[in-house]
Amino acid sequence: MGGTNIAAAVVDPCGSVQSRVSLPTPRGASAQAVASAMSRAALDALNAGGYTLSDIESVGVGSPGTVDPAQGLIRRWYKMGFENVPITALLARTLPKPIFLENDANCAALGEYAAGAGRDVRSLVAITLGTGVGGGAVLDGSIYTGFNHAGMEPGHMAVAHGGRLCACGRRGCLEAYASASALITRAKEVLGLEQADGKTAFLEAEHGNPLAAQVVEEYISYLACGIVNLVNLFQPELVCLGGGVAQQGERLLTPIREILNRENYARGLPQRTRLVQAALGTDAGIIGAALLPFYTKPQ
Amino acid sequence: MGGTNIAAAVVDPCGSVQSRVSLPTPRGASAQAVASAMSRAALDALNAGGYTLSDIESVGVGSPGTVDPAQGLIRRWYKMGFENVPITALLARTLPKPIFLENDANCAALGEYAAGAGRDVRSLVAITLGTGVGGGAVLDGSIYTGFNHAGMEPGHMAVAHGGRLCACGRRGCLEAYASASALITRAKEVLGLEQADGKTAFLEAEHGNPLAAQVVEEYISYLACGIVNLVNLFQPELVCLGGGVAQQGERLLTPIREILNRENYARGLPQRTRLVQAALGTDAGIIGAALLPFYTKPQ
């Protein structure tokens, strides 16, 4: 479930998508109406693959905002104005199966852990470079969420004390420097463009534009700073980068690895965190949501 | 075990110190000689309380640097020039008991969790403001260490991209702003003093010196930035501050809480991280080391 679209899929236990649909999220609608659209998307995804409800074991839901999986609540989703929405109970009427709820960034991290870039590791931090900078951690087979289920917000780790104002109200947050939005804003500012997207600065830099190269270098420098911070705290076996900007692949990863090799506090140890591109693209969240039952501790 | 002293104590299962001794760490000595001094300290602590080896169940060792508890190795302790020292095997000759090894900052976090400020919580991040900025996390009853046992180094999380050079080689690390050493350096610089200690800026500020107040405000601003970062990542039930500077108590904690209340990403939720002073002072490490057997997963 997202602010723009509701995507639903039938996923097998290995994390392969068997059938899928996507519907627009009803605008300005009640939680009830959004839940109805979600149920319809799920049932349509079953139909699309020739399945019925009896073919599935459980339903996984990935939601933006802060969720409470034990209570089946969306605690806060600012964009939709949701507060303490009992999403699990709303869905249960039309989807009579065990329903598992988790934050969407955590679902994406779990998808990569279970069936993507991290399928051979025991601990992973996943970072998504999109409109914001999202994140999730799977540590020894469990999603790490903190005691109030609001943890792992690497986008709201300040890397520049007193720096750029972030949408969250803090200054200097990683998100204000390393999101796709921040990259686009800087590309427009520095290159004097009316229009730009997340690829513009990288493309122009490759064509020899020194100002664009400077935008890219600045972007990488802040993103690497945040990644080294996460490594020095979590020392996960793997960090994977997803989202639009991560599609730059080695153009992005190689210079970050150089900084990580230099600044990782564990650089003298034989076992060091690896940094790779996420493997599942935009499917990570939907796959992770579906696989939640395998990675959820009994309450 | 520290670079200056070796402290040993007999600790009961509730975390109470029953008897103790402290010896100077042999200077420039071999690992063998340091291990001998540690054994002597442990046996002396037994004698001091009228105990014998038959009265104790196990031996806990807190070591600086990076350790490998499963192998009983100190992997790297730069200050002493130790590399892959088999400390557990060296101690086993004179202390024929199960020996548990852990990093000293992790032991301090565990001590606070088991018997100090965090004895009623399920997750805690402990930060020590000393020569450096150390840290440890106990999450749901286990010390968090990362896959290579080098995690939780909050002192080496950069909060000021491109800022002050840290001893670790990075720029802008929390340690370069929030350690007692950083506070003393700034007090000397800004107040034009030859001599200062960790209390000087706070004392002078209280006596109305505006430059000292500025040093304190700057110190608190950076420390709070680091603490908010840790909360936005870990959302632990409790953060506790130990080490010399933490003895400022509410003079330090109250302004940090104000910043945390404003910048915590979970500020809208009913469950929010509490910030308190550590309760066990310099005993936290020794108590945590002794209680390691209760919090160590079987390998």
- Partner A contacted by B97 (CB < 8 A): no
Q: How confident is the model at residue B299 (pLDDT cuts 50, 70, 90)?
A: very low
Question: Can you tell me the distance from the alpha carbon of B278 to that of B274, in angstroms, rounded to the nearest whole number?
Answer: 12
- The total number of residues shown for chain A amounts to 299
ipTM above 0.85, yes or no: yes
- Residue of B123, B144, B159 to mutate for A, most A C-beta atoms under 10 A: B159
Q: Which of A19, A83, A91, A33 is nearest to A62 (CA)?
A: A91
Q: What is the pLDDT of residues B243-292, one digit of tens each?
A: 999 999 999 999 999 999 999 999 989 999 999 999 999 999 999 999 99
> Pick from B187, B259, B189: which is nearest to B216 by CA?
B187
A116 and A279 Cβ atoms separated by less than 8 Å: yes
pLDDT tens digits in sequence order for chain A, 299 residues long: 988 899 999 999 999 999 999 999 998 889 999 999 999 999 999 999 999 999 999 999 999 988 999 999 999 887 788 999 999 999 999 999 999 999 999 999 999 999 999 999 999 999 999 989 999 999 999 999 999 999 999 999 999 999 999 999 999 999 999 999 999 999 999 999 999 999 999 999 999 999 999 999 999 999 999 999 999 999 999 999 999 999 999 999 999 999 999 999 999 899 999 999 999 999 999 999 999 999 986 54
CA distance B135 to B192: 31
Tell me: the pLDDT tens digits for B9-59?
Answer: 999 999 999 999 999 999 888 999 999 999 999 999 999 999 999 999 999
The dihedral of CA B83, B84, B90, B95: what is its sign? Answer: positive
Contact A269 B150 (CB under 8 A): yes
**Whether B129 contacts B241, CB under 8 Å:** yes
Kindly state the average pLDDT of the residues B1-12: 93
Residue B266 per-residue DSSP state:
T
Q: Encode pLDDT of B147-173 as tens digits.
A: 999 999 999 999 999 999 999 999 999
Which H or E run includes B46? helix B31-48
Please tell me the pTM assigned to this model. Answer: 0.95
What is the model's pLDDT at position A299? 47
8 Å CB contact of B266 and A148: yes
Q: Which residue has the higher pLDDT, B151 or B4?
A: B151
Residue B194 has pLDDT above 90, yes or no: yes
Listing DSSP states for A47-105 in one string gives HHTT--GGG-S-EEEEESSEEETTTTEEEEEGGGTEEEE-HHHHHHTT--S-EEEEEHH
Amino acid A229: pLDDT: 98
Name beta bridge partners: A23. Answer: A6
Question: In B, which residues are within 8 Å of A230 by CB distance?
Answer: 233
* Whether B279 contacts B116, CB under 8 Å: yes
Q: Name the minimum distance, in Å, from the CA of B32 to any CA of chain A.
A: 23
List the end-to-end C-alpha distance of chain B, in Å, as a whole number: 24
Residue A234 contacts residue A182 (beta carbons within 8 Å): no
The strand pairing partners of B68, in sequence order, are: B73
